[in-house]
Structure 1
Amino acid sequence: MAPGTSATPWDMMPGRIPLGVVVVDGNGLITHWSSGARRLFGPSREEAVGAPAAELMPVAGALVVRGRDSDIAGDEPMGAYKEFEPELDLRTVPAAYPTAGRARIAAPERGVGDVLWWAYPLVGPGAGRLLVLAADTAQITGFEIADERIAPGFALHTDFPDAAALAGGLPEILPNMSTAESGRVVDQLLELGYPVLEISRQRRVPVTPDWGVPQRVARMARRGSVPYQEGPREGDPYGQEDVYGQDDPGGPAEHHPVALAVEHDLEYAAVRERLEFLNEVSGRIGTSLDLARTIEEVSAAVVPRFTDVAGTYLREQVIAGEGFPDGPPDARTLWHRVAVEHNDEPGRWDDVIPVGESMPFPEQTPFFRCMTTGQPVLVERITEELGHAIAAQFEKRDIRPLITGRSMLVVPLKARTVVLGFMILLRHADRPVFNDMDRVTGAELAARAGLVLDNARMYTHQESVAETLQGSMLPQVAPRMAGCEVATRYLPGTRLGRIGGDWFDAIKLPGSRIALVVGDVMGHGLNSAAMMGQLRTAVQTMAALDLPPAQLLRSLDDLAQRLGEHYLATCLYVVYDPVDSTLVISNAGHIPPVLVRAGDGRGELLDVPTGAPIGVGGVPFEMAGFAVAPGDRLVLCTDGLVEMRGEDLGVGLAALCESAAHPAASMDAACDGIIRTLGGGARKDDVALLMARLSGIPRSDTASWELERTASSAGRARRLVRDQLAQWGLAESADTAELLVDEVVTNAVRHAVGPYVGLRLVRSGGALQCEVSDDEHTMPVLLEAGAEDEFGRGMRIVSRLAAGWGAARTARGKSVWFEQTLPRGLAERPLHQ
């Protein structure tokens, strides 16, 4: 029995009662047997667990002999239970009501003596159905009344003063349970009645356990450093059901057999409890590599079992997922408060200590000492002076009422000797203070948490690098091109840092044509992404040469074999001519495209020869042509979108056709609908999706001429362009267009060898495109013309005035094109009929 702090009847009790704790399951078999139970009743833990409780403990009334109704009456329901005589030899199960008793027993270590016991029926999850607390009456001292007058009983905890303190200490007598389970059991015990000693009708004393002496004091006493003192164990927040002691009868501690046994039991139970706690915490943290989730797990793991308040602070570089912070922290280092977990009243800490705040810590504070030394800092009680010093850091907020009088432990969160952050742990004033063992436990806890946080930090860093790399390699496709509207989506996978080898592209070609590309490098990770970047660059370079699709894939396959044997990829290359409304497609092992017809709204897979993947080598590639109509939509994607676990690829392709045909308000909405239908789940593979609305260019928006290669061809070209632009209502842009056409045609006339030069104008979506073709394969280049040079300025003028220009080889020679941006008002004018 523990002395109280007020003048109450039980304050007269000078001693404490060591308790044994036993848990019995629904079949009357023992599932938990504390060392205190072994001292009282004799059998060891190994012998007791699994044995019938009625055979090992004198708990008459706590266990009831019952049998099935079918044993005596076949017409009653199966599974019901009823009282029977013991001679039926049926099983014993816990009673459904609390019981208590006193019995005289003989145990090997005790001889013959009396035992008091209290039994509580348990309900809810778990195998335990009966909790039994037992005590030796020989340990009750200080009463003049005969022991026979002392009996076990129950009383509501509200019958006593300081009821909250009694209820808070009740978990200490329970076996090792989780916080949630012990809370459930405590609620049941308080509802059924607190265990008491009935000294007389007027004197009822609540039972509290005795945990013996603090280990630090006991070890020092054995060395002769301090006198042996009996008392409660300081700073034990967990409740050790297997620790026992009694009043000191005197004598040196090292010769005191009970004290030595107590010390051994204390150390065993305390170390075991902390190891179990750390093991439990290790299992609860690190379930995710998300940094924010990891911080929440670490905070929730220590409150309320180890501490009442846990505040976590991290350095800025850690939160950003960057590399290790440069240099050791100092008084100027900003620490970000990333989490505050507590079991105080809701909202008590939120306004005073808000999450997300950044602040430095002065050198004289315990926090600065922790972050610079990398060692835990223990403050048994925060005094008024220290509380004022800490509170001075928080402007316009007084946190002294929250921290003064509490015990504090500051533990560093380290990884490879670098301090990433620290945790401030606080206990309520009515809870035992942090001690040396808690310091060690906190340091080990912080070390494990620091490792988990560092893993999350590195993952965040790698993920950021991967996403940056992936984003840099994916093109910025213009949403509107000549006769075509394009929308794209990329979804990273979950393998190897969320990076893969899928890509898409849309490339302008001569003659107002567009190349639409989707590819997928086999494999995942940085190597695949690097290969993807090389192949994508190669496709863009070859597309600028205006190679036919099959020849382009042939050249890309040769390049992949030269780069290395591991370069394997699938690729789909489509050339769209918006003037002729045709598609020319070549395929290298990729899934076929889907064409959604504007006429009937149906989606169909285009019959394109599959071909072999890029890098296989020695396999020819074929081309297939298709006629399209304005408004048709072409959908290209990688296999990560249509592959479904346990399903044939055809099922995914059919779903793609169906979802692509679903009407949508815009191209972006259509892409989102496909992703939502097929790619919304967690997919291991990355996904690339390209959708193009094939709007086409009407013949009335194009004009072409064949010019004789004479000195007057440039002048005729200027007149044709001016007249055509006037007809289109674009006369205001004619001056610039004439100048640019004159330079390009003059260059063609001067260097070509054939009799004719081709000229073509295309008006499409706010831009004017001009293309000049001839039979000379030599490509134009920019030259530096001196002050006395007569030639060399033409293409430089084109590069300065045009929105873009380029050149490509053709079957006959070459084609040089430029694009001129039209003023907004002119571009939106209707055509003259």
Structure 2
Amino acid sequence: MMQGLPPSENPVREVPAGLRHAAAAIKAATGAGEQIALLGTASHTIGTTLDLCRTVQEMTAVLVPAMADYSTVDLLEPVLRGEDPPTSGLEDRSAWHRAAVHGIDQGPLRTLRDALPQLDAACPLCEPMLVPRLDHDGNWPHPKRPSGANLRRFGLHSMMAVPLATRGQVLGLVTLYRGRHRVPFSQADLRIATHIGAFAALALDNARRYARERAVALELQMSLLPREIPLHPGLEITHRYQPASRSALVGGDWLDVAALPDGRVALTIGDASGHDIHAAAVMGRLRTLMQAGVSQGREPAELLTTIDALMAAGHAQSDIATCLHGIYDPASRRCTIARAGHPPPAILHPDGSVEFPDIPAGPPLGIGEQRYTTAELQLAEGDILMLYTDGLIETHDQDIDVGMDRLATALGRGGHSLNQLCDSILTDLRPHGGEDDITLLAVAIRGLPHHRTASWDLSCGSTEPCRARHLIRGQLEQWNLPLLADTAEPLVEELISAATCDDGCPLGVRLHRTDVLLVEVLDTCRTMSAAPQGECDDRELRIVGEQAQHWGVRDHADGRTVWFEIPLGSEAETSTRSQRR
């Protein structure tokens, strides 16, 4: 993926006024020190950034008006994209792009802007060229000349063309013109222009290599971001990724959304330190570790603690990353979340108010020997949970608190849709990009379809297992899934019977039907074992493990939940499809 400077997005720009100050000072210089002043200014003025267009503008600002009245710079198309310059076919007009044009007035600028070089294959481009005067017909007596440009009517009478070459590779060509009020170019002028061209070529080559590394890093990063986010019951999710400005490399921003077997959804966003290919590679490793931990059912704080230790033990000290990781339960609309040095999420409520919940920050990942804690967010239908990276709210000249205030204001304006909200936030806070890339993950809380979910509150007691069986069978018959009751009923009965607690201790049972039947049993007394291990007395868990397709146990603030899935049969699938229609 080339994210360099394609011609359609790289119009010819005249040199900004701010770049002309050094050249104006040179113009006033006189005597033998003029050439030294010109070379010194070039060394300090050209190559102040790693932007190709800016570099050529800086060069023309040095040359005009100190040495010439007008100047153009042509670059080879692959160079603009950060690629290596071609070694053949340079005489092809389409291989060139006019990257800059500058002059003492507006007279011939339009003609110069449109006049790409027409080169002769027999004329070596690697050599500088001096044409002291126009010929008698008003044309340049040399094959290296502007095509179709009769500049004599503007008083231009002398020209120099200097290749921008380094390491044996030609990157471009700078052409200088003088008008009637100045003497023709001399060999001494050509030597000075050649020195300046050599220095500028080094700066251009650095910018080209930078553009190539940026393109590779961006391609790597984009390949590790999710191509699309699948639909999740009870949620509407969208995301945005905005690379840093072209004068900055991309960083290590990433995000991920994963459906868990128990019907919950894992939401993750992170930022690896640095702005280079290494940062993108760290991001890729971190995302892989997160996906592995999520697939194992690790809770947020536990997972961040484990990854912190792995990163600290296995990689360089520079492999540091921030991360915000949460697990959302559509049934309870509760999000269990932990963060490692990452900005807190924002919540946009239906009334337009914005909240930044207080979540223990913890240090960034990769420091080692850290422990993280979780917070639980109780969300409501209509809330929008916004996860983001620090590039959205923090810059070198703006404190993070100011950025968060601006984000709250942008969120408060809302939008007609989740996509429009994300677009408006980027427009309000970073309309022209910035020195850091930006990632947004917006999650709108929607209600679960009532016809696919059923839940009941129970309590410990001798009659509750029988009651649970009756409720489950009735609901499955209503869903046209009576055959599944033969599996679901005895499993739920075993789990409720195993909850040895005082009478009246709350229990809960929930059914959720998607492509499978998800059954959850909540025990608020937390007396069930976490998992079967060897020869133990967890008979009910062994039975669940034998008869359910997938199952698991998770601890949370309300107690402990055992869940299991039962696959739907062919008749049930037919019923599900008909009800969806």
TM-score, normalising length: structure 2: 0.68
Are 2:381 and 1:630 aligned? yes
Which of residues 114, 121, 125 is equivalent to 1:354?
Answer: 114
1:216-231 equivalences in 2 (<5 Å): none
Name the amino acid aligned to 1:587.
R
Which of residues 183, 194, 207 is equivalent to 1:443?
Answer: 194
Q: Aligned pair in 2 of structure 1 residues 180, 654: CA closer, same or farther (>3 Å)?
A: closer
Equivalent-residue separation in structure 2 for 1:413 and 1:523 (angstroms):
32
Are 2:35 and 1:274 aligned? yes
Equivalent-residue separation in structure 2 for 1:586 and 1:405 (angstroms):
69
CA displacement at 1:703 relative to structure 2: 6.4
Secondary structure, aligned partner of 2:164: strand
CA displacement at 1:817 relative to structure 2: 7.2
Secondary structure, aligned partner of 2:421: helix
Which of residues 127, 130, 134 is equivalent to 1:378?
Answer: 130
Are 2:253 and 1:502 aligned? yes
Are 2:55 and 1:289 aligned? no
Report the equivalent of 1:580.
Answer: 332
Report the equivalent of 1:559.
Answer: 310
Which of residues 463, 481, 506 is equivalent to 2:232?
Answer: 481
Are 2:67 and 1:315 aligned? no
Report the equivalent of 1:299.
Answer: 60
CA displacement at 1:611 relative to structure 2: 4.2
Secondary structure, aligned partner of 2:175: strand
More deviation, 684-693/449-458:
684-693
Name the amino acid aligned to 1:478.
I
Deviations 1:440-486 (A, max 9, x none): 12211212222222232222222222322332233334285322122
**Does the CA-based 8 Å contact 2:138-2:150 persist in structure 1?**
no
Which of residues 462, 470, 477 is equivalent to 2:213?
Answer: 462
Deviations 1:305-324 (A, max 9, x none): 3223323222222122213x
Which of residues 507, 510, 516 is equivalent to 1:770?
Answer: 516
Q: Aligned pair in 2 of structure 1 residues 657, 331: CA closer, same or farther (>3 Å)?
A: closer
Deviations 1:604-643 (A, max 9, x none): 2334344454344454444433332210111223344445
Secondary structure, aligned partner of 1:449: helix
CA displacement at 1:555 relative to structure 2: 3.6
CA displacement at 1:514 relative to structure 2: 1.6
Equivalent-residue separation in structure 2 for 1:495 and 1:326 (angstroms):
23
Report the equivalent of 2:439.
Answer: 688
Are 2:275 and 1:515 aligned? no
Q: Aligned pair in 2 of structure 1 residues 239, 581: CA closer, same or farther (>3 Å)?
A: closer
Secondary structure, aligned partner of 1:625: strand
**Does the CA-based 8 Å contact 2:120-2:143 persist in structure 1?**
no
- CA RMSD, Structure 1 to Structure 2 (Å): 4.8
Which of residues 109, 118, 121 is equivalent to 1:363?
Answer: 121
Deviations 1:470-521 (A, max 9, x none): 3223333428532212233345557994333332222222344321112233
**Does the CA-based 8 Å contact 2:135-2:141 persist in structure 1?**
no
CA displacement at 1:534 relative to structure 2: 0.8
1:686-725 equivalences in 2 (<5 Å): 686-702=437-453, 724=479
Deviations 1:568-596 (A, max 9, x none): 43322212222332222233444433333
Deviations 1:31-69 (A, max 9, x none): xxxxxxxxxxxxxxxxxxxxxxxxxxxxxxxxxxxxxxx
Q: Aligned pair in 2 of structure 1 residues 521, 291: CA closer, same or farther (>3 Å)?
A: closer
Equivalent-residue separation in structure 1 for 2:270 and 2:28 (angstroms):
62
Equivalent-residue separation in structure 2 for 1:314 and 1:525 (angstroms):
25
Q: Which has the larger radius of gyration?
A: 1
Equivalent-residue separation in structure 2 for 1:533 and 1:808 (angstroms):
28
**Does the CA-based 8 Å contact 1:588-1:621 persist in structure 2?**
yes
**Does the CA-based 8 Å contact 2:69-2:178 persist in structure 1?**
yes
More deviation, 325-334/428-437:
325-334
Name the amino acid aligned to 2:254.
W
CA displacement at 1:692 relative to structure 2: 1.1
CA displacement at 1:697 relative to structure 2: 1.0
Secondary structure, aligned partner of 1:453: helix
Q: Which has the higher contact order (CA 8 A, sep 6+)?
A: 2
Q: Aligned pair in 2 of structure 1 residues 551, 239: CA closer, same or farther (>3 Å)?
A: closer
**Does the CA-based 8 Å contact 1:500-1:529 persist in structure 2?**
yes
Equivalent-residue separation in structure 1 for 2:144 and 2:55 (angstroms):
31
Secondary structure, aligned partner of 1:696: coil
Report the equivalent of 1:413.
Answer: 164
Report the equivalent of 2:102.
Answer: 341
Are 2:270 and 1:528 aligned? no
Unaligned residue ranges in structure 1 (runs of 5+): 1-176, 183-237, 242-268, 706-716, 726-737, 763-767, 779-806, 821-825
Q: Aligned pair in 2 of structure 1 residues 363, 609: CA closer, same or farther (>3 Å)?
A: closer
1:387-398 equivalences in 2 (<5 Å): 387=139, 397=148
**Does the CA-based 8 Å contact 1:391-1:399 persist in structure 2?**
no
**Does the CA-based 8 Å contact 2:24-2:66 persist in structure 1?**
no
CA displacement at 1:535 relative to structure 2: 1.1
Report the equivalent of 2:322.
Answer: 570
TM-score, normalising length: structure 1: 0.50
Secondary structure, aligned partner of 1:350: helix
CA displacement at 1:432 relative to structure 2: 2.0
Secondary structure, aligned partner of 1:444: helix
Q: Aligned pair in 2 of structure 1 residues 816, 411: CA closer, same or farther (>3 Å)?
A: farther
1:174-323 equivalences in 2 (<5 Å): 269=31, 271-323=32-84
Are 2:422 and 1:422 aligned? no
Equivalent-residue separation in structure 2 for 1:620 and 1:659 (angstroms):
34
**Does the CA-based 8 Å contact 2:242-2:433 persist in structure 1?**
no
Q: In the comparison of the two structures, how many residue pairs are matched?
A: 487
Identical aligned pairs, as a percentage? 31
Equivalent-residue separation in structure 2 for 1:614 and 1:701 (angstroms):
39
Secondary structure, aligned partner of 1:533: helix
Equivalent-residue separation in structure 2 for 1:682 and 1:594 (angstroms):
21
Report the equivalent of 1:537.
Answer: 288
Equivalent-residue separation in structure 2 for 1:477 and 1:389 (angstroms):
59
**Does the CA-based 8 Å contact 2:301-2:372 persist in structure 1?**
yes
Q: Aligned pair in 2 of structure 1 residues 521, 455: CA closer, same or farther (>3 Å)?
A: closer
Q: Aligned pair in 2 of structure 1 residues 591, 440: CA closer, same or farther (>3 Å)?
A: closer
**Does the CA-based 8 Å contact 2:24-2:65 persist in structure 1?**
no
Q: Aligned pair in 2 of structure 1 residues 809, 525: CA closer, same or farther (>3 Å)?
A: farther
Report the equivalent of 2:552.
Answer: 810
Secondary structure, aligned partner of 2:99: strand
Secondary structure, aligned partner of 1:289: coil
Deviations 1:239-275 (A, max 9, x none): 996xxxxxxxxxxxxxxxxxxxxxxxxxxx3x42222
1:584-623 equivalences in 2 (<5 Å): 584-598=336-350, 600-623=351-374
Equivalent-residue separation in structure 2 for 1:520 and 1:556 (angstroms):
14
Equivalent-residue separation in structure 1 for 2:198 and 2:45 (angstroms):
15
CA displacement at 1:686 relative to structure 2: 4.4
**Does the CA-based 8 Å contact 2:72-2:101 persist in structure 1?**
yes
1:754-833 equivalences in 2 (<5 Å): 762=513, 769-771=515-517, 810-811=552-553, 815=565
**Does the CA-based 8 Å contact 1:570-1:589 persist in structure 2?**
yes
Q: Aligned pair in 2 of structure 1 residues 808, 401: CA closer, same or farther (>3 Å)?
A: farther
Deviations 1:513-540 (A, max 9, x none): 3211122334554333322211112212
Equivalent-residue separation in structure 1 for 2:375 and 2:411 (angstroms):
22
Name the amino acid aligned to 1:577.
D
